[in-house]
A and B are shown apart, each in its own frame.
Chain A
Amino acid sequence: GQQVMQIPQYQHVQEGEDFTTYCNSSTTLSNIQWYKQRPGGHPVFLIQLVKSGEVKKQKRLTFQFGEAKKNSSLHITATQTTDVGTYFCAGPGSGYSTLTFGKGTMLLVSP
């Protein structure tokens, strides 16, 4: 079925450092969503990208959708301890109306 690969699986940074997670698909994605899950919490929607080459920003977070719509990235500038959590990308699955999540990138930020 449809797979969305996400790297890295885990990253530990010092507060103030930048962080990037990447999402890759072997097939073209019509759209991609990003979610954040805090430790012990549930996934929370961050953003959706739809257009080829699209770039969206939310304060220190920058989201990109590749020109070929096969990859996406989330970049956090100057991480803060509040950024701790697991970040997931999600794209259309192989089923008619399914959603496939990447395995997530766990971010740990040390003060």
Chain B
Amino acid sequence: EAQVTQNPRYLITVTGKKLTVTCSQNMNHEYMSWYRQDPGLGLRQIYYSMNVEVTDKGDVPEGYKVSRKEKRNFPLILESPSPNQTSLYFCASSLSWIRTGWAYEQYFGPGTRLTVT
């Protein structure tokens, strides 16, 4: 089954304790990205990757790191989490990167609910 998986689905942690949220897709997609969803703010893009070893910032990258060493995986790293990073996080992938005049359908993972105390 074609899907995007994320782990963990739920995480409660403390301020400053490094954590990684994994994301994996089995559709051979080139483009992957991370979003955070907060009430009243909708979905905001954190980082994206157009292909292996190619990553770039989205609208809200501060406090986050990513890496794309393999095509299928795109982990999100919070080196020193803070309470304002408490949110619902979604990983998404699409066939290719967004081109001028065209964007590919984004496939979203099930989400990771993160609480930082």
Known contacts A42-B90, A103-B40; is-contact A31 B56 (Cβ 8 Å): no
> Is A39 interfacial (CB 8 A cutoff)?
no
> Is B74 interfacial (CB 8 A cutoff)?
no
Known contacts A33-B103, A33-B105; is-contact A98 B110 (Cβ 8 Å): no
In whole angstroms, how far apart are the Cα atoms of A97 and B59 in the complex?
Answer: 11
Report the stretch among A12-20, A43-51, A58-66 that lies at the interface: A43-51
Interface string of B28-53 (1 = CB under 8 A from A): 00010101000011111100101000
- Chain B residues bordering chain A, tally (CB within 8 A): 30
Interface string of A6-34 (1 = CB under 8 A from B): 10010000000000000000000011010
Q: Give the size category of A's interface with B.
A: 20 to 34
Known contacts A95-B56, A95-B57, A97-B31; is-contact A48 B43 (Cβ 8 Å): no
Chain B positions within 8 Å of A, measured between CB atoms, are 31, 33, 35, 40-45, 48, 50, 56-59, 90, 92, 97-98, 100-103, 105-111
